Amino acid sequence: MITLRGLTKRFGRTTAVDDLTVDIAPGRVTGFLGPNGAGKSTTMRMVLGLDRPTAGRALIDGRAYRELRRPLREVGALLDARAIHPARAGRAHLLAMARSNGLPVRRVDEVLDTVGLDARAAAKPGRTLSLGMAQRLGIAGALLGDPPVLMFDEPVNGLDPDGVRWVRQLMRSLAGEGRTVFVSSHLMSEMQLTADRLVVIGRGRLLADAPIDEVIAGSPVAVRVRSPHPAGLAALAERLTAAGAAVDPAGPDELTVTGATTDRIGDLAYELGVRLHELSPHGASLEQAFMELTAGSVEYAGTPTGGTDR
C-alpha cells in the first residue's frame, strides 16, 4: 500500500502538492489523473524519495522509501523511460540494477521476456532505443525485483496500439495478483479501460478519490438528436432550453442535449411535429467527467479557433 498523509511540496512560492491525503490500496489499478502541472510527477517523486516533502509523509507499506533495505524488492517504478545511460545496453542496465539489489541474474532475462524485448533489442545502447522500446525496458526495470508495489508515470507513451493493450493487460494482471498498482496517464480512454479507482488532483489538491464508475456517474448523460428538418430542430432546441436543458447544436441537423431524458425529448418533438432520425443516449465518458472535475485547475487553457478538433 502507498499512504500519503498531508503530503505537501513547495518550490519557493509555488505549491506543487497541497496537503494530499490518500491511500493507494493493493489488489486494484489506481489511476492518477490531473492536468499538466497538477503535481502528479512531484507526488510520485516524493513517494520514491527523489523529492523531500515540505510537509506530510509518503509511505510504502508503512515505511519511507529511504528506510527500505532493498528497494527494488519493495517497490518498482517507471518515471522516465529515458533514464538510462545512452551508451549502456538495455540488458546491461538491468543487470546493474539486479546486482545492486542482490537479485539473481536470471531475473533480468525473465523480465525482458515479460516485456517482449528479445536479445537483439536488449543489446542496443540506450541512445538508439525508440520511445516504445525504452518504455518496455523501463517497465522491465520496475518488475525486476518482483515487488508488491508498482508505480508507472505515463507508461504507454510511445507504444503502438498493441503495446498499449499489452500494458493495460499487464496492469490488470499485476493488480489481480494482489499488488498495489499506481498509474499516471493523460489517455482518458485507456484509463477508463484500465483503472478500478481514480485519484484526481488539480493544482496540487485532491479533487476526487473514488471508484471510476462513481467518478463517471457524476457526469451527465448526453443525448444525440438528429432530424431532417432544421427549422423544426431549432424549435425543439428552443423548447428544451426553456425547460432547463443544455443544448449544443452540432450542425443544422443535429443537437447534443444534456439535462433531459430521451422520453422527454421525444415527447416534445412529437408535440412540435418534428420527425427524428436519431434519439440516442450516450453514456458519460471519463474524459467528460475529468474535464468537469478539473475545469478550474487547468494551468494552460487555449482558445478554440476553428469549428472542429484536430
Interval 86-131: pLDDT, tens: 999 999 999 999 998 899 999 999 999 999 989 888 899 989 989 8
Check whether residue 128 and residue 23 sit in a common domain: yes
Q: How far apart are CA 75 and CA 250, in angstroms?
A: 48
Gyration radius of the chain over CA positions: 24
Rounded Cα distance between 297 and 120, Å, is 45
Nearest Cα to 183, choosing from 76, 31, 47? 31
Res 301: pLDDT? 52
- Give the strand order in the sheet containing 278-282: 246-251, 254-258, 222-226, 278-282
Q: Let me know if residue 242 belongs to a domain.
A: yes
227 and 207 in one domain?
Answer: no
> Domain with 269 in it: what CATH number?
3.30.70.790
Tell me: do 162 and 240 sit in the same domain: no
In this structure, are 97 and 246 located in the same domain?
no
Cell of 207: 479533487
The total of other beta-carbon atoms located within 10 Å of residue 63's CB is 12
Indicate if 122 and 231 belong to the same structural domain.
no
- For residues 190 and 165, membership in a common domain is answered with yes
The ranges of the chain with pLDDT < 70 are 297-310
Tell me, what's the pLDDT at 282?
78
Does some domain include residue 109? yes
- The three grid cell numbers given for residue 142, joined into one nine-digit string: 520496475
SS3 49: coil
Q: Is 288 within the bounds of a domain?
A: no
**Do 177 and 40 reside in the same domain of the chain?**
yes
Q: Is residue 296 part of a domain?
A: no
Nearest in space to 155 (alpha carbons), one of 195, 126, 120, 97: 195
Picking from 217, 242, 262, the residue at the C-terminal end of a domain is: 217
Burial label for 106, CB within 10 Å (0-12, 13-18, 19+), is: exposed
Position 299 in a domain: no
Q: What's the pLDDT at 302?
A: 52
Please tell me the total count of domains within the chain.
2
Domain finish residue from 217, 236, 266: 217
Look at residues 194, 195, 182 and name the one whose alpha carbon lies nearest to residue 77.
Answer: 182
38 phi and psi, to 5 degrees? -75, -20
Do 151 and 226 belong together in one domain? no
Q: pTM of the prediction? A: 0.79
Domain-ending residue, one of 217, 232, 265: 217
- Which CATH number does the domain housing residue 164 bear? 3.40.50.300
Each residue of 253-280: pLDDT tens digit? 999 898 888 999 999 999 999 999 999 9
Q: Is residue 301 part of a domain?
A: no
Rounded to the nearest angstrom, the gap between the alpha carbon of residue 169 and the centroid of all alpha carbons in its chain is 15
Per-residue confidence (pLDDT) for residue 307, from 0 to 100: 43
Residues 183, 259: one domain? no
Same domain assignment for residues 193 and 263? no
Which domain covers residue 103, as residue numbers?
Answer: 2-217
Q: Is residue 292 part of a domain?
A: no
Classify residue 55: in a domain, yes or no. Answer: yes
**How buried is 119 (Cβ within 10 angstroms: 0-12 exposed, 13-18 middle, 19+ buried)?**
exposed
106 shares its domain with 232:
no
Based on the fold, state whether residues 83 and 120 are members of the same structural domain. Answer: yes
Calpha distance 157→80 (Å, rounded): 10
Q: Do the bridges between strand 180-184 and strand 149-153 make them parallel or antiparallel, or are there none, so unpaired?
A: parallel
